[in-house]
Amino acid sequence: MRLRRISSHFPVFLVVVAAVLSAALGAQTRVGEALPASDTRQAALQSCPAIEEEIVDLEMLAQGLKKSKAVGLVEKIRLKSSINDILERFIDFHDGARDYTLEQLQEQYDVLLMRIASHLQQQDERLHGQLCNAWDIIWQDLENPDRFAEKFS
């Protein structure tokens, strides 16, 4: 009897849970406030162009940027500095520091790569294609403690 009463309320429960989740995911971040949890759904990066030579880490990306004619000297220095900054944040994270969560570091990584892609997409299709293909490969090395230690120890 009691079980039947609970099961009859189950669809209502599901609707409430869905509404709460939807509100949480759609919440807005005012600059200076906490960030909503990121959603892993993505349509992006599913059709990266075919490339001949792969980039497999941030150092190779930095080298590619250094040689690219699509980026001015000052921007090259700023981007290299940003790459170094995020690498240091990952070193600190894997050392146990918790200034940023892993989800926040992923977002910082994604936005940095969006910044780099913005520079490349019109003027350096080759490096842009390499960046597109490497986006998730590099992330996997950064987030995984063993792979990160292997690369940066």
Partner 1 sequence: MKPATLAGLLSLLFLASCGKQEAPSHEEIIAADLAEILALQGSPCGEVVAYTLDERLDYRIECKSGNVYRLHVSSEGHVMVKPSGP
Interface residues toward partner 1, by CB under 8 A? 25-33, 35-36, 38-49, 99-100, 104, 107-108, 110-112, 114-115, 117-119, 121, 128-129, 131-132, 135
Query: Is 131 within 8 Å of 116 (Cβ atoms)?
Result: yes
Of 32 and 96, which has the nearer Cβ to partner 1? 32
CB of 150 to partner 1, least distance (A): 26
Residue among 118, 104, 45, 109 at smallest CA distance from 83: 109
Residue spans of beta strands (DSSP E) within 77-126:
none
CB of 33 to partner 1, least distance (A): 7
CB of 59 to partner 1, least distance (A): 20
End-to-end CA distance of the chain: give it in Å, rounded: 62
Of 6 and 120, which has the nearer Cβ to partner 1? 120
Of 2 and 74, which has the nearer Cβ to partner 1? 74
Of 63 and 123, which has the nearer Cβ to partner 1? 123
Angle between helices 73-94 and 102-120 (to 10 degrees): 160
Query: Is 72 within 8 Å of 66 (Cβ atoms)?
Result: no
**Residue owning tokens 């944040």:** 89
Residues in Cβ contact with 79 at an 8 Å cutoff, skipping those fewer than 6 apart:
62, 65, 71, 115, 116, 119
CB of 4 to partner 1, least distance (A): 39
CB of 3 to partner 1, least distance (A): 38
Of 28 and 153, which has the nearer Cβ to partner 1? 28
142: how many CB neighbours lie within 10 A of its CB?
23
